[in-house]
Structure 1
């Protein structure tokens, strides 16, 4: 697939903005990966707190890494099927903030964005504050991927749609995940998922 024919103009516009804002280069070069670490820390935090909450809340937290793993796997499958070259290959004469050392990997969709959005939307099923904060991080990660020259805009949008779609499957898994947590709390996994006495009436996505 020739990504440049889809929205190459937008990609070049963002790179033009990047060349005009050298003071942002360092931030986005760090944040593009550090943002994923930040999201992992948010997941760890909400998991720690959910250990003291009802089974429904822990079920929602349990879904986050599952959703991320599924979304990441699907993203890589789509990359193999579509085989879209990186934009730095399509526009070799255009300088990018990041070096083109990721050129051996396909571009569509963005794995970074797929992971970030799947985590953020899944976290929305846990709680509004954690979810909205994570979505803000995901948006910045998405912009950074184009800003650095790693992806086209449509790569980012596709990753967001894929990640959100997978995460929302959690709405269909409320009862089985909650039942699983209740069983785990009665067994050896109790230290990880909380005490059996905390079995609650709420389910995945409750507030």
Structure 2
């Protein structure tokens, strides 16, 4: 049944306009860059927030990387061949079929997308309405271009999201404590990365000179 769905999607992809196929080919990789941009925007936004907000922003890409690592580890357990090699009579994929040994299950792209969507939503409430559709589109694009089965991307999304959620929840308190400590230091580079936060920002004059009258 999963093979039939894969074939249906790939055959449909072959009948779509050239611009849509091109967009799918680009999006399957470019979506990762968009998530990276959202991580950077979330970090910049959190520089003026409290320590917990900054901790969540810093944990988002780390949790996503952890989701990818778990997905990659599972690939070596299941050793599932790519459908573009295994499914007899399948149309040629829209992109180059990965070499044998680059296993199919679960989809790393989908795991990264699911992890990023959840981690960003935890760090920046309200972005779930953007990140969830982006993650779903990225996962679907991996089947559309012909390099994954539907179950590869479904499990990848769920796995990445679950791992990221657990990682962020487990790391928020220690990360917030670390950010709070960093914000009390004197290293300019560390302060720039960690941000001043609302309390520290209130003790800085507009000219950038600390108020020492207290």
TM range (shorter): 0.7 to 0.9
Give yes or no for the alignment of 1:20 onto 2:18.
no
In the aligned structure 2, how far is the partner of 1:154 from the partner of 1:13?
Answer: 14
Change in CA separation of 1:50 and 1:68 when aligned onto 2, cut-off 3 Å: same
2:3 maps to what in 1?
8
Structure 1 position 16, deviation (Å): 1.8
Aligned to 1:128, what secondary structure does the other structure show?
Answer: coil
Unaligned runs of 5+ in 2: 201-214
**TM (normalized to structure 2)?**
0.85
Structure ranking higher on relative contact order (CA contacts 8 Å, 6+ apart): 1
In the aligned structure 2, how far is the partner of 1:69 from the partner of 1:126?
Answer: 15
Aligned to 2:106, what secondary structure does the other structure show?
Answer: coil
Question: Residues 68 and 119 of structure 1 are in contact (CA less than 8 Å); yes or no, is this contact kept in structure 2?
Answer: yes
1:128 maps to what in 2?
125
Residue of 179, 182, 186 corresponding to 2:180: 182
1:161 maps to what in 2?
158
Q: Who wins on radius of gyration, i.e. which is larger?
A: 2
In the aligned structure 1, how far is the partner of 2:109 from the partner of 2:33?
Answer: 11
In the aligned structure 1, how far is the partner of 2:184 from the partner of 2:177?
Answer: 11
Unaligned runs of 5+ in 1: 1-5, 200-207
Structure 1 position 120, deviation (Å): 0.9
Aligned to 1:160, what secondary structure does the other structure show?
Answer: helix
Q: Find runs of 4+ consecutive structure 1 residues off by over 6 angstroms.
A: none
**TM (normalized to structure 1)?**
0.87
Aligned length: 195
In the aligned structure 1, how far is the partner of 2:96 from the partner of 2:195?
Answer: 45
Please identify, of 21-30 and 139-148, the stretch whose mean Cα deviation from structure 2 is larger: 21-30
